[in-house]
Amino acid sequence: MEQFRPTSSIKVKLLLILVGLTSTMLIIYAFLALKIFEKDKIAYVFDTIRGHSQSTAQLVRSEVQQAIDKVDFLMRGYNYESKKFHPYTARIFPSEKNLFYLSSYQIENGTYAKVQELNKYTDNKTISEELEQISTNMLEEALISDLSLRTLSSYPSYWVIALNFKSTQSQNSAVIFAAFEQAQFIDSIINSTLQDTFLLNRKFEPIIKASEPIYNEVTSQAEALKLAAQKTNGQGTTEYKAENKLPLLLSYSKVNIGNMYIASYIPKKIALEAVDELIIKSILFLGLIVCVTLFVSVLASNRMTASLKKLYTATMQVASGDLDVEVDIKSKDEIGGLANGFKHMTQEIKRLLNETKEKARMEGELKTAHLVQSTLFPEPNFSSEAIDVVGHYESASECGGDWWFHNTINNCTYLWIGDATGHGVPAALVTSAARSAATIIQEFPDLTPKQIMEMLNRSIHGVAKGQVLMTFFFAKFDHDSKVLTYTSASHDPPYLFPKKEDKLKKRDIKPLMDSNGLRLGEAPDSQYEEVEVSLSAGDRLVFYTDGITELVGPDGKYWGERKFLKTLLDGFNSDADINHVSSNLLNEINNHRDGHPLEDDVTFFMTEIK
């Protein structure tokens, strides 16, 4: 058999391939780069301003919704006939943080007029006069869109919303003005550093903008924003060219509240000013790479085949499971780099294998911690001769920061619920400390709720040292006297749904909020007050954490207190027992989530007095 003789050297072939292929690819790359570089830059700028407008829109939606929820709370008990706020609203208004003005407008003699006003700055004529000046336009806009928003020109960080409220008992309506001292979204708009940003109303007219715009490239700013909004339908990005002006790159995002929009723009010239310089540098860099490739290819062709053989042998050893293989290649070229990379790869594989084992161990420990934490909670259903209890808990991660509990001592039922800051292992440790303290405290039945809360506070402070805090609500129900004694550490107040012969209304709901102290763990010597409430047979109490009202769906919208209370009212008005009301509430929560991951623990429990 004739011995095979190669007709050409592999070194020559390798040299031709290295030089020819590399040169060809680099030339093609250089040609294509000139064509697509500008498009990539524009796409990058569009992504930047779109991200800014979307994040600002989300910030506006979040803070405006919080303001609406606060106004909704203060409107409880508003009398549309006497045209006055509830006395409780007037009493707590001076203690409201950030909110400094609240007024109502109702129809008098065929037109809307101010009927009541709460103002912390009555001595500031500038604020009062400007509020009067902008009220007319905001009133008209609120009647159309149910929401209007403005800032004060004299105090740019102060902002005002007007909300249209309608009575559920009559045809009366009222427009409520609320003014706030600060908002993060205002700073994001007026202090934008890379692009000019605007908050627009439903007519795409700027209602908040930077006092000193970064760019002055638009002849008619309002016209540009409106025309660009028509092209994007109020959502997306577009390029706009004003007459005798440079093109602009614009982005729009819907706020999804009050028919408002966020718009951002950057002049196209500014966005692309670095393109020419980058193209020149890229061409020079590509030329340098071609020259270096030619030089390195010639030097490497004599040694490359031997080095490749060593790498091949080492690869086969790794494939067989030997990760301790050593490759003795000391060259400084690409093959040497490949050898170093090969060595690094084997080290990384060993490291990743060890990390995989460690991760599996940690996951096992987290599952164990989750199992242990589940023992801190009582049975979800409890019934006695005096009271029924049904509850639910779902953690946002393996370990949560919510905790609820109930126990009966000497003809009294103790009701506990708390929410540690954050979630995960630190928060779970705090809940464990609270449960341990509760176990010890229940051995002293003569302690009052106030004393129990103070002991809990010292326990949490001693464990967390102020690094993790916990809101808490504790209540003691006496079976004989039907008196509920409670105390709160800044926890969301539970709701009392009294037993009635007819249908319950929203105004019948009584939040247990007459006691409110510092969060547990905030200070070792915090003092708490206790309040007594007389209950009757058939009365129901609903305890919860803020993970319910701040539940976020796939669309980014909060479930909110309004839907929470409506679900409870519908359930209690249908004469359902608390087990059915609890199941219905859980169904509504899951429907709003629609599979979206939890951002906070979801905890609630209900009681019914027999």
Domains of the chain: 46-271 (no CATH), 275-367 (no CATH), 379-609 (3.60.40.10)
Angle at 75 between CA 415 and CA 77, to 5 degrees: 70
Lowest mean pLDDT among 57-66, 134-143, 347-356: 347-356
In angstroms, the first-to-last Cα distance of the chain is 104
Q: What is residue 501's predicted lDDT score, i.e. its pLDDT?
A: 84
The residue length of the chain stands at: 610
SS3 266: strand
Q: What is residue 117's predicted lDDT score, i.e. its pLDDT?
A: 93
Residue predicted with more confidence, 316 or 149: 149
Q: How far apart are CA 8 and CA 10, in angstroms?
A: 7
Q: How far apart are CA 260 and CA 198, in angstroms?
A: 10
Q: Are strands 206-209 and 510-511 parallel, antiparallel or unpaired?
A: unpaired
pLDDT at 445 over 90: no
CB 290 within 8 A of CB 23: yes
Residue predicted with more confidence, 73 or 443: 73
pLDDT in tens, 560-584: 999 999 999 999 998 778 999 999 9
Residue whose token pair is 């990539």: 40
Q: How far apart are CA 175 and CA 178, in angstroms?
A: 10
Q: How far apart are CA 512 and CA 95, in angstroms?
A: 18
Confidence band of 104 (pLDDT split at 50, 70, 90): very high
- Burial of residue 264 (number of CB atoms within 10 Å: 0-12, 13-18, 19+): buried
Token pair of 410 as six digits: 């000497």
Residue predicted with more confidence, 525 or 202: 525
Q: How far apart are CA 537 and CA 290, in angstroms?
A: 89
Q: What is residue 489's predicted lDDT score, i.e. its pLDDT?
A: 94
Q: How far apart are CA 190 and CA 182, in angstroms?
A: 13
pLDDT at 162 over 80: yes
CB 566 within 8 A of CB 493: no
Compute the CA torsion angle 118, 120, 122, 124 (nearest 10 deg). Answer: -140
CB 246 within 8 A of CB 268: yes
Q: What is residue 1's predicted lDDT score, i.e. its pLDDT?
A: 34
Of 122, 69, 79, nearest to 104 (Cα)? 79
Q: Are strands 111-119 and 236-240 parallel, antiparallel or unpaired?
A: unpaired
Instruction: Give the type of residue at 200.
Output: L
Instruction: Give the type of residue at 235.
Output: Q
Q: What is residue 256's predicted lDDT score, i.e. its pLDDT?
A: 87
Lowest mean pLDDT among 265-279, 412-426, 448-462, 485-499: 265-279
Token pair of 538 as six digits: 């058939």
What single string gives the DSSP state of each residue in 458-505?
Answer: HHHHHHHTTSS-EEEEEEEEETTTTEEEEEEEBPPPPEEE---SS---
Per-residue pLDDT, averaged over 236-244, amounts to 74
Q: How far apart are CA 159 and CA 496, in angstroms?
A: 34
- Flag whether the pTM goes above 0.85: no
